[in-house]
Structure 1
Amino acid sequence: MTSTHKPLVIITGASSGIGLATAKLLSQRGHALLLLSRRLEKMVQLGLPNTLALAVDITDREALVAAVAQAEERFGPVDAIINNAGVMLLGSIATQDPSQWDRMLDVNVRGLLNGIFAVTSGMVERKHGTIINVGSVAGRKTFPNHVVYVGTKFAVTGLSENLRQELSPSNVRVITIEPGAVDTELLSHTTDDAIKEGYNDWKQEMGGVLAAETIAEVIGFAYAQPQSVCVREIVVCATRQEQ
């Protein structure tokens, strides 16, 4: 284990979008990183120092726990986890394949809980740590063709607040970041072409959406506060996004 880096941060969904942008930012700030995604190549291509990149599906609890243990052996105790991995499969509830509901629940809720499980006991024991859950403005508002996705993000918002209350006596912070529309690969998961076209038209009508790097900066701001300061929740959207 080296002492030439800042404490270990775990980022899920680190191969693209917000996760990748946050990895770059926190590496620049000197943190050791554990990057997790099903796609290994893009994480490795970053070539970041003091970084362990592993192909892990967050729905596999045992694999996630093992990855955390491997990173802690190399870099020391985890200081923060950024539960960023998620899928957005938009569709009409009357016609959408229910297997897509299962996938969103598995990744957006159960996978996020697996990340929490992997780090919480150690943070409570050390009385130090930060859990950052990337939710969505869809955890506060409803949108057309978003029924199950909205349900998963309302779950993230609710469980994060309850978790914050439970862990605050142990000096562990829980922070929820709720972005609006962001320029990432998230929409590409949707299989309904008409819905995707309408969503893209909506983004154009508002004059463009947020960059992943902007959300990374927001995450970096919240995390950089002293451990005695918990920025509980940040909702951030493009100025012209009305909903």
Structure 2
Amino acid sequence: MMKLQDKVAIITGGAGGIGSGMALAMAKEGAKVVIIDVNEEQGHAMEQELQGISADSLFIKADLTDHANLKTVVETVVEKYGKLDVLVNNAHASRQTMFADVPTEELELSMNTGFYPTWYLMQAAYPYLKETKGNVINFASGAGLNGHETQAAYAAAKEAIRGISRVAANEWGRDGINVNIISPIADSPGVRAWAEAQPEYYEAVVSKIPMGRFGHVEEDIGRVAVFLASEDSKYITGQTIMVDGGSIQLR
């Protein structure tokens, strides 16, 4: 029996990077994976790959900054599959600027692609997750936990996501819903862009990772997402899981 047999999972930003790694890992464990992404070409390519593993998987094109339609996204998934078991809020866009120079539009970009979609999708998914005693997996970042330079807008949104995740974990625990957070370091397109923009900082970060490398999006990050989406994690909620090779050791 696969760990996620017949579970229905929504993954935002699932067409590439960490999202695609989680999508592949969950599909291989039997989940029907719905990836939500604005990139139509990558989305359809990922859909085909997923359907080769889990035939009922699906790509839905959606702009997460169109907050009014996020409830419709969830309702579309439930109408097709009859339920929702897992919500993964992974998508997020931001720009790198020193804190004193961050313009309002960059803060709004980070909040509108990361924090607000997480907020509204959680609200929309709640009644369906209550029925399945399902799971929410949100995403934090060392940028917020350690306060990385040039990451003010991103860190603000990520720490806000951690805050509402803890609130939801406390409120929804009585409904059997688990809400947890992954804080990853992964070899994703975003990290590669950061490495190009700040190579010295990137090398400094790698040198401080106890395991000496960035994580693989499927084998490292995806497998932890499978665990948090499965029955194996039913007594874990409200936690920030550091999937970062030991870079940040919370106490």
The TM-score bracket by the shorter chain reads: 0.7 to 0.9
1:131 match: secondary structure: strand
Which residue in 1 is equivalent to 2:24?
24
- What is the DSSP-based 3-state SS (H/G/I as helix, E as strand, rest coil) of the residue aligned with 1:91? coil
Asked if residue 186 in structure 1 is aligned to residue 190 in structure 2, the reply is yes
Residues 69-97 of structure 1, C-alpha deviations (whole Å, 9 max, x = no match):
22222212101100111124221123344
Q: 2:173 corresponds to which residue?
A: 168
- The one-letter amino acid paired with 1:236 is V
2:216 to 207, 211, 235: 211
The within-5 A match list for 1:40-189 is: 40-46=40-46, 47=48, 48=51, 49-124=55-130, 126=131, 128-179=133-184, 181-187=185-191
CA contact 1:105–1:152 (8 Å) conserved in 2? yes
Q: Distance in 1 between matches of 2:171 and 2:71?
A: 21
> In the TM superposition, what is the alpha-carbon distance from 1:240 to its structure 2 partner?
5.9
Change (3 A) 1:201 1:145: same
Instruction: Tell whether the 8 Å contact from 1:139 to 1:150 is kept in structure 2 after alignment.
Output: yes
Gaps of 5+ in 2: none
Instruction: Note the C-alpha offset of 1:204.
Output: 4.8
Relative to structure 2, which stretch is displaced further, 5-14 or 140-149? 140-149
Give the counterpart letter for 2:243 in structure 1: V
Write out aligned runs for 1:1-20 (5 A). Answer: 6-20=6-20
TM-score by structure 1 length? 0.86
The structure with the largest strand share of the pair is 1
CA contact (8 A) 2:93 2:113 kept: yes
Shift of 1:231: 4.7
Whole-angstrom CA distance in 2 between matches of 1:202 and 1:55: 37
Q: Distance in 1 between matches of 2:111 and 2:153?
A: 8
Are the equivalent residues in 1 in contact too, given 2:165–2:238 (CA < 8 A)?
A: no
Distance in 2, Cα, partners of 1:140 & 1:66: 33
Q: What is the identity, as a one-letter code, of the residue corresponding to 1:158? A: G
For this pair of structures, how many residues does the alignment match?
235
Partners of 1:61 and 1:85 lie apart in 2 by 14
Whichever residue aligns with residue 98 of structure 2, its letter is S
Alignment-mate amino acid for residue 229 of structure 1: Y
One-letter amino acid of the counterpart of residue 7, structure 2: P
Matched residue, 1:236? 243
List gaps (5 residues or longer) in structure 1.
none
Q: Which has the higher helix share?
A: 2
Q: Does structure 1 retain, via aligned residues, the 8 Å contact 2:114–2:157?
A: yes
Asked if structure 2 preserves the Cα contact closer than 8 Å seen for 1:8 and 1:79, the reply is yes
User: What is the Cα deviation at residue 217 of structure 1?
Assistant: 0.9
Question: How large is the RMSD of aligned CA atoms in angstroms?
Answer: 2.5
User: Which one-letter code corresponds to 2:187 in the other structure?
Assistant: D
